């Protein structure tokens, strides 16, 4: 009953206006900022000992605090073909069933819906693999590369702004394919093509990438696309690729026979940036 009420509330609240207000507050600076940061750290149990700058009073805005970098060495990279790109928790992962992805028990959505209706692009990942990783408010919110990749295209898809917490994932069908999202398409010299889809949510002020900055700042309501020339943006395994201004989910898509997931992974398991996500599948083919 409690979960159902939370889902009904998600449908009823003015999510866009709430998100815009939260974004303005998070970007502003003033006397309220240190107090807001202290409350947030206490409320969510944020571990500031890992931060490059642990002094809560020194952050000019809540956004500066929320996207804080980690101190050097806090997340060593495992000796693995694919590393986990974020701190968070596993929502679901596994094989793409033809073109269907599992969101939660009883809920699936298609790769074409996730990719803004682009069926040709979705065909790239037919029978491939996926991983949905949820970043909670307490987590480090910069996003990193799971493997080496050259950016080929970025697409902004407007959409709803439902919360993406586990309760909502269980209760809102097609959640990740309904919410606002930024699709980043890469090709790897060793692991083929892959996609990193940054999913927006309630009070996520913006989604940013290192090569573009804030992608969804204007929220025009229209699909936008940016192509990238060969070698224009090349990122190495473990390098930062983007960030959320407040928590959300990242969905990754890989081609067929690209990745064999870490056998220690399971749904709802906590994960940390840099830990082994998987190895190259025996059938993996290089570009």
Could you list the active site residues? 87, 144, 248
3-state secondary structure of 63: helix
- Give the Cα separation of 132 and 277 in Å (integer): 12
CA distance 244 to 33: 19
**Contact partners, residue 17, CB within 8 Å, separation at least 6:** none
What is the rounded radius of gyration, in angstroms, for the C-alpha atoms of the chain? 18
Type and span of the H or E element at 39: helix 32-44
Q: What are phi and psi of 205, to 5 degrees?
A: -60, -40
Task: Work out the end-to-end distance of the chain between its first and last CA atoms, rounded to an integer number of angstroms.
Answer: 50
């Amino acid at each position: 009953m409690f979960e159902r009420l939370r889902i009904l509330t998600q449908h009823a609240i003015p999510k866009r206006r709430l998100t815009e207000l939260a974004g303005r507050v998070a970007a502003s600076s003033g006397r309220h900022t240190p107090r807001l940061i202290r409350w947030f750290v206490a409320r969510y149990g944020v571990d500031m000992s890992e931060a490059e700058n642990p002094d809560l009073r020194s952050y000019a805005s809540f956004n500066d605090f929320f996207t804080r970098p980690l101190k050097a060495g806090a997340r060593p990279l495992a000796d693995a073909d694919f590393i986990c790109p974020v701190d968070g928790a596993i929502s679901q992962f596994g094989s793409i069933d033809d073109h269907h992805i599992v969101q939660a028990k009883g809920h699936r959505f298609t790769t074409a819906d996730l990719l803004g209706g682009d069926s040709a692009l979705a065909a790239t990942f037919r029978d491939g693999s996926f991983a949905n990783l949820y970043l909670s408010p307490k987590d480090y919110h910069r996003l990193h590369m799971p493997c080496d990749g050259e950016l080929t295209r970025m697409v902004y898809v407007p959409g709803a702004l439902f919360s993406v917490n586990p309760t909502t994932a269980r209760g809102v069908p097609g959640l990740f394919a309904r919410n606002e999202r930024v699709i980043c398409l890469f090709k790897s010299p060793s692991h083929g093509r892959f996609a990193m889809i940054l999913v927006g949510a309630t009070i996520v002020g913006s989604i940013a990438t290192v090569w573009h900055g804030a992608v969804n700042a204007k929220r025009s309501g229209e699909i936008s696309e940016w192509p990238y020339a060969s070698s224009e943006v090349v990122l190495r395994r473990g390098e930062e690729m983007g960030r959320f201004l407040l928590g959300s989910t990242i969905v990754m898509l890989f081609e067929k026979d690209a990745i064999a997931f870490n056998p220690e992974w399971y749904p709802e398991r906590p994960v940390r940036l840099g830990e082994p996500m998987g190895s190259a599948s025996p059938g993996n083919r290089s570009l």
